[in-house]
Amino acid sequence: MDDAPPGYAVMLSTPTRKQCREAALVLQSVGLHGKMVRRRGEWTVIVRQSDFEAAERHWSSYCQENPPADPHPDEQVPLFGGAWHAVVAYLLVLMTFATLSFRGFAGYDWFTAGQMQAGRVLQGELWRVVTALTLHADGTHLVSNLAFGAIFGLLAGRILGGGLAWLVIVLAGALGNAMNAIVQGDAHTSIGASTSVFAALGVLVSHALIPRTSTPQSRLRRFSPLVGGVVLLAMMGLEGERTDVSAHVTGFLAGLVLGGLGCRLPTRWLAGTVVQWTSGLAAIIVILTAWGVAIAAGQ
């Protein structure tokens, strides 16, 4: 832009008034006069031609010492693979056990053998905290957990890797059921993958709570993910005639704890194919082993 008044030269042309004002203040601090002018949709700082070289030198030096801040410093969250594969495995596992239990495969009472009954869990039948995750009361119950589990599980798989995410979700669901057994009466029973579904929500919240930069954050911003998670828990997990509210809350808390531990693992582990496949296989083994023990104990 070369249309400065006679005797003046344009030192800076910028679309933002903030930068233009900053330049004018810098020049003023070293005894030079910079005038802010808005022309043709841009902000400019003009200086006397005799001051142009000095003004440009001071402004250049200031910019080198004070580089513009990155508006999103280090905010890119690393994502990992295998999330979709893990979701497909989750859907297949739930539908397989739904088919077996709804039809009473091999004349076996899958519900009696696998439901989470607080008294029996506290007496040592710990497999029930896992087997109960694969049982559902009816088709509506099943479809609900298939849908929400796939959504939350997919998101968790993106931030932890598919295999590790589902190992954490299964273990957190089991831990949530165990915690639920402790706080409930001996006669309390529950079934369903919703404890793990809310554990997956807890994993997402724990990941969001971890600070990614050294940039100071207000407490409101820092803890807003937790507030959002609690709101989702209240909206989705605390209503309904047959809703086991306690199981949803304990699953969410277990997901927060185990998810927090998982999110602090080294990135090279989360990106490792061996780690992810081993973790995913371990999640399936945990479920099959629990059912193996349940069937053996029932014979």
Residue 33 lies in a domain: yes
Is 70 a domain residue?
no
Cα gap 299→295, rounded to integer Å: 6
pLDDT in tens, the chain (299 residues): 456 778 788 888 887 788 888 888 888 888 888 888 877 667 888 888 888 888 888 888 888 887 765 544 445 567 888 999 999 999 999 999 999 999 888 888 999 999 999 999 999 999 999 999 999 999 999 998 999 999 999 999 998 999 999 999 999 999 999 999 999 989 999 999 999 999 998 998 888 777 544 444 544 455 455 555 556 666 665 555 567 888 888 999 999 999 989 988 888 888 889 999 999 999 999 999 999 999 998 75
**Closest C-alpha among 64, 63, 47, 42 to residue 9:** 47
Q: Is 187 helix (H, G, I), strand (E, B) or coil?
A: coil
Query: Position 282: which residue type?
Result: A
If asked whether residues 202 and 133 sit together in one domain, one would say: yes
Q: How far apart are CA 278 and CA 65, in angstroms?
A: 49
136 and 232 assigned to the same domain: yes
Q: What is the pTM of this model?
A: 0.71
- Return d(Cα 126, Cα 65) in angstroms, integer: 62
- What is the C-alpha R_g of the chain? 29
Residues 44 and 124 in one domain: no
CATH of the domain at 47: 3.30.70.1530
Element (H, E) at 8: strand 8-14
With beta carbons less than 8 A apart as the criterion, state whether 42 and 15 touch. yes
> Domain residues for 138?
83-298
What is the greatest pairwise CA distance in the chain? Answer: 101
Look at residue 1 and tell me if it is in a domain.
no
Q: Which helix (H) or strand (E) holds 174?
A: helix 162-183
Res 240: pLDDT: 54
Q: Are residues 56 and 90 in the same domain?
A: no
In DSSP terms, 47 is beta-bridged to 9
**Does some domain include residue 108?**
yes
Same domain, 184 and 255: yes
